[in-house]
Structure 1
Amino acid sequence: MPHDPTKSSQRPLTDAADRSVRTGNSSDEIAAFVAKARAMTPGATGARGRLVFALDATMSRQPTWDMACALQADMFREAEAIGSLDIRLVYYRGLSECRASGWISTSDELARLMGRIDCRGGHTQIGRVLSDTRREAIASGVRAVVFVGDAMEESIDDLCAKAGELGMLKVPVFVFQEGYDPVAEQTFREIARLTGGAWCRFDPGAAAQLRELLRAAAAYAAGGRDALLRLARGGGGAALLLGQMK
Structure 2
Amino acid sequence: MPHEPTKSPVRPPTDAADGALRRSNSSDEIAAFVAKARAMAPAATGARGRLVFALDATMSRQPTWDMACALQADMFREAEAIGSLDIRLVYYRGLNECRASGWISSSEQLARLMGRIDCRGGHTQIGRVLSDTRREAVASGVRAVVFVGDAMEESVDELCARAGELGMLKVPVFIFQEGGDAVAEQAFREIARLTGGAWCRFDPGAAAQLRELLRAAAAYAAGGRDALLRLARSGGGAALLLGQMR
Above 0.5 in TM-score? yes
Could you tell me how far apart the structure 2 residues matched to 1:213 and 1:150 are? Answer: 15
Equivalent pair of 2:76/2:85 in contact (CA under 8 Å): yes
- Contact conserved, 1:146 with 1:217, CA < 8 A, in 2? yes
Residue 125 (structure 1) aligned with residue 125 (structure 2): yes
Aligned twin of 1:160 = 160
Q: Is the alpha carbon distance of 1:34 and 1:88 closer, same or farther for their aligned partners in structure 2, counting shifts above 3 Å? A: farther
Q: CA deviation at 1:37?
A: 7.7
Alignment of 1:89-128 (within 5 A): 89-128=89-128
Unaligned 5+ segments in structure 2 are 1-12
Q: Which residue of 1 aligns with 2:49?
A: 49
Residues 50 and 34 from structure 1, CA distance in 2 versus in 1: closer, same or farther, beyond 3 angstroms?
A: farther
Counterparts of 2:47 and 2:38 in 1: how far apart (Å)? Answer: 10
Q: Which position in structure 1 is the counterpart of 2:226? A: 226
SS of 1:218 mapped into structure 2? helix
Confirm or deny: 8 A CA contact 1:145 1:171 kept in the other structure.
Answer: yes
Shift of the 11–59 alpha-carbon distance from structure 1 to 2, 3 Å rule, reads: farther
TM-aligned CA deviation for residue 26 of structure 1: 1.1
Q: 1:56–1:224: structure 2 CA closer, same or farther, 3 Å change rule?
A: same
State the partner residue of 1:199.
Answer: 199
CA distance in 2, matches of 1:137, 1:209: 28
Please list, as runs of the form range in 1=range in 2, the aligned pairs for 1:58-77 lying within 5 A after superposition: 58-77=58-77
Which residue among 12, 15, 18 is the counterpart of 1:8? 15
SS at match of 1:7: coil
**8 Å Cα contact 1:64/1:205 also seen in 2:** yes
| 1:170 correspondence with 2:170 | yes
Distance 1:52 1:200 in 2: 17
Q: When the two structures are superposed, what TM-score results if normalisation uses the length of structure 1? A: 0.90
User: 1:175-219, CA deviations, whole angstroms, 9 ceiling, x for partnerless residues?
Assistant: 000000000000000000000000000000000000000000000
TM-score normalized by structure 2? 0.90
| Partners of 1:199 and 1:220 in 2: CA distance | 15
Offset of residue 35 of structure 1: 2.8
Counterpart contact for 2:47–2:223, Cα < 8 Å: no
Shift, 1:120, TM fit: 0.3
Query: How far apart, CA to CA, are the structure 2 residues paired with 1:122 and 1:64?
Result: 16
Q: Equivalents in 2 of 1:92, 1:245: separation in Å?
A: 27
Q: Is the 8 A contact 1:98 1:128 kept in 2?
A: yes
For the structure 1 residues 117 and 28, does the alpha-carbon distance in structure 2 shift closer, same or farther, using more than 3 Å as the test? closer
Q: How many residues align?
A: 234
The amino acid of 1:8's aligned partner reads D
Q: Is the 8 A contact 1:130 1:162 kept in 2?
A: yes
Q: Judging changes above 3 Å, is the alpha-carbon distance between structure 1 residues 110 and 33 closer, same or farther for their aligned structure 2 residues?
A: farther
| 1:3 matched residue in structure 2 | none
Correspondence 1:75-94 to 2 at 5 A: 75-94=75-94
2:33 corresponds to: 32
SS in 2 for 1:118: coil
Alignment-derived partner of residue 185 in structure 2:
185
Structure 1 residue runs without a partner (length 5+): 1-5
Cα deviation code 1:117-140 (max 9, x no counterpart): 000000000000000000000000
Q: 1:25 to 1:201 in 2, by over 3 A?
A: farther
Aligned equivalents of 2:105, 2:20: Cα separation in 1: 21
Matches of 1:140 and 1:33 in 2, distance apart? 12
More helix as a share of residues: 1
